[in-house]
C-alpha cells in the first residue's frame, strides 16, 4: 500500500467512527494529499468503505491515470455531466451522511452546489478530520518543505536586495517571483508593504519612498508544499521607534523559537511574544497571531489569527509551524515583522528558513 492510499484508509477509519458515509473533496491541498497529484478544479469522492473516485475532464483522464494510484476515474465533458456523475455515484452508494472539506480556501459556490445536489442528505464539515492527518508531516513532506524553505530564503534575499527609493512594490515582488520560479517553485504568494501598514499586503504599483518601512513576505511552494519567510527593512531616515520595534520583534521570534517542542500550548508561545512587546512598551502595535501551521497551504491549521480554538492546540512532533506571522503595526512605524518556518522535533524545534 502506498502512502497516499494509506492516508485514504486512515480517513475512512475516522469516517466510520463519525458515521460519515462519504466525503467530497474540492480543494487542491486535500486532493493532492490523498491522490499525490496537484490538479486544478479537483473532484474526489471518498466512500467510507470502498475505493475513492476521481472526477476529471475527459481529455485529462489518461494523464491523471499515469500520476495517481487511484484507478476509478470518471470523465465528464461539461459541468452538467460532472454533477450528474457525482449524484449517480453517491446515490448508488446509499450514503445518508456526506462530508465536505470546508478548508479556508473552499469555494462557497461549490459548497452550495453540493448542498443543492444532495438536499436529501445530511452534510457535515470534515475539514478537522482531514487536518488530523495533514497536520503531522511524514519524511517526504518534510523534505519538500525543506526545499521550499531554501527557495524562500533566496527569494526573500533577492527581493530585499532590490529595495530602493523609486522602485515599486510590484517590481520588488517580481524579483522574488522570478528567483523562486528559477529555483523550481510551482507558485509563490508574496506580500510587499511600504509606507502605511497593511495586514494582507498584496503588491501595488506604489513607489517606495525615503523613510518607508518595507516588509516583504514570501511563501513559495515546491511540489505542492510551502514555506513562509518574511523580513523588514527601513529606507533612511529611520527613527528610533522603528528600530526598537524591529529589535523587539527579533527578540520575540528568538525567544519563542526556544519554546517550541511537543506538548507546549500555542497560547503559551503567543504569551511569550506579548511579554516581550510589553517590556518594550509596544502593545499598542500588537496584532494577535504570532504563529500558524505550514504545509500544503502557506497558512494552514493551526491558524491562530482566524480560529480562536486553535490557540489552545498543543504542538506535536513533525508539525511545521511558522513564527512571526502577525506584524507590529502602526501608522508611525508601518508594518514590521520577521517570519521563520520551523519543524517541531522530538525535544526541540529546527529552523528551516
Ramachandran sector of residue 29 (left: φ over 0; alpha: ψ -120 to 50; beta: rest): alpha
d(CA 235, CA 222): 32
| Residue finishing a domain among 134, 158, 184 | 134
Q: Are 216 and 180 in contact (CB under 8 A)?
A: no
Q: Please give the residue range of the domain that contains residue 113.
A: 3-134
| Same-domain status, 80 and 162 | no
Q: Residue 109: which residues within 8 A CB-CB, separation 6 or more?
A: none
Examine the domain organization and report whether 211 and 322 are in the same domain: yes
Burial of 205 (0-12, 13-18, 19+ CB in 10 A): exposed
How many percent of the chain have pLDDT more than 70? 100
Domain boundary among 101, 134, 167: 134
**Which residues contact residue 352 at a Cβ distance below 8 angstroms, ignoring those fewer than 6 apart?**
145, 146, 149, 227, 320, 340, 341, 342, 343
CATH number of the domain residue 172 falls in: 3.90.230.10
Residues 146 and 60 in one domain: no
Same domain, 54 and 117: yes
pLDDT (mean) for 228-255:
97
What is the model's pTM? 0.92
Residue 342: predicted pLDDT = 98
Q: In terms of domains, do 84 and 164 share one?
A: no
String of DSSP letters for 252-280:
HHHHHHHH--TT-BHHHHHHHHHHHHHHT
Q: Same domain for 99 and 216? A: no
CATH number assigned to the domain comprising residue 117:
3.40.350.10
Question: Which one, of 227, 266, 272, 232, lies nearest residue 251 by Cα?
Answer: 272
- Boundary-marking domain end, from 106, 134, 162: 134
**Which cell is 303 given?**
491558524
44 plus 171 within the same structural domain: no
Identify the pLDDT of residue 53.
Answer: 96
Q: Specify the number of domains making up the chain.
A: 2
Taking only the tens place, the pLDDT of each residue in 115-148 is 777 778 898 999 999 999 999 999 999 999 999 9
Q: The cell 503559551 sits on which residue?
A: 268
Are residues 231 and 125 part of one domain?
A: no
Give the per-residue pLDDT at 80.
Answer: 87
Cell for 155? 527569494
The three grid cell numbers given for residue 120, joined into one nine-digit string: 436529501
Which pLDDT score, from 0 to 100, does residue 334 have? 96
Backbone φ and ψ of 46, nearest 5°:
-115, 105
pLDDT of residue 287: 92
Region for 25 from its dihedrals, namely left if φ exceeds 0, alpha if ψ lies in -120 to 50, beta otherwise:
beta
**Are the C-beta atoms of residues 164 and 128 closer than 8 Å to each other?**
no
Judgement on whether residues 120 and 181 belong to the same structural domain of the protein? no
Amino acid at each position: 500500500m502506498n502512502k497516499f492510499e494509506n492516508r485514504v484508509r486512515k480517513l475512512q477509519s475516522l469516517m466510520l467512527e463519525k458515521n460519515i458515509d462519504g466525503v467530497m473533496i474540492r480543494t487542491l491541498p486535500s486532493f493532492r494529499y490523498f491522490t499525490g497529484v496537484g490538479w486544478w478544479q479537483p473532484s474526489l469522492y471518498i466512500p467510507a468503505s470502498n475505493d475513492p473516485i476521481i472526477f476529471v475532464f475527459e481529455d485529462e483522464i489518461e494523464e491523471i491515470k499515469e500520476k495517481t494510484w487511484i484507478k476509478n476515474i470518471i470523465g465528464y465533458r461539461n459541468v452538467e455531466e460532472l454533477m450528474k456523475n457525482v449524484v449517480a455515484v453517491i446515490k448508488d452508494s446509499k450514503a445518508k451522511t456526506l462530508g465536505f472539506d470546508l478548508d479556508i480556501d473552499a469555494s462557497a459556490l461549490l459548497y452550495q452546489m453540493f448542498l443543492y445536489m444532495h438536499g436529501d442528505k445530511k452534510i457535515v464539515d470534515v475539514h478537522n478530520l482531514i487536518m488530523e492527518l495533514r497536520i503531522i508531516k511524514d519524511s517526504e513532506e518534510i523534505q519538500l518543505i525543506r526545499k521550499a524553505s531554501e527557495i524562500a530564503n533566496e527569494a526573500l534575499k533577492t527581493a530585499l536586495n532590490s529595495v530602493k527609493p523609486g522602485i515599486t512594490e510590484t517590481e520588488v515582488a517580481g524579483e522574488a517571483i522570478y528567483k523562486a520560479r528559477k529555483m523550481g517553485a510551482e507558485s509563490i504568494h508574496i506580500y510587499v508593504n511600504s509606507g502605511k501598514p497593511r495586514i494582507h499586503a498584496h503588491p501595488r504599483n506604489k513607489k517606495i519612498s525615503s523613510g518607508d518601512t518595507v516588509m516583504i513576505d514570501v511563501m513559495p511552494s515546491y511540489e505542492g508544499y510551502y514555506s513562509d519567510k518574511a523580513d523588514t527593512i527601513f529606507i533612511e531616515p529611520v527613527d528610533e521607534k522603528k528600530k526598537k520595534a524591529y529589535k523587539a520583534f527579533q527578540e520575540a521570534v528568538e525567544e519563542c523559537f526556544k519554546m517550541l517542542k511537543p506538548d507546549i500550548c500555542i497560547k503559551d508561545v503567543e504569551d511569550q511574544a506579548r511579554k516581550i512587546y510589553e517590556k518594550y512598551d509596544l502593545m499598542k502595535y500588537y496584532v494577535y497571531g504570532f504563529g500558524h501551521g505550514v504545509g500544503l497551504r502557506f497558512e494552514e491549521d493551526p491558524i491562530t489569527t482566524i480560529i480562536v480554538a486553535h490557540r489552545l492546540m498543543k504542538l506535536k512532533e513533525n508539525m511545521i509551524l511558522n513564527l512571526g506571522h502577525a506584524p507590529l503595526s502602526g501608522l508611525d512605524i508601518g508594518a514590521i515583522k520577521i517570519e521563520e518556518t520551523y519543524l517541531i522535533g522530538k525535544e526541540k524545534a529546527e529552523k528551516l528558513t
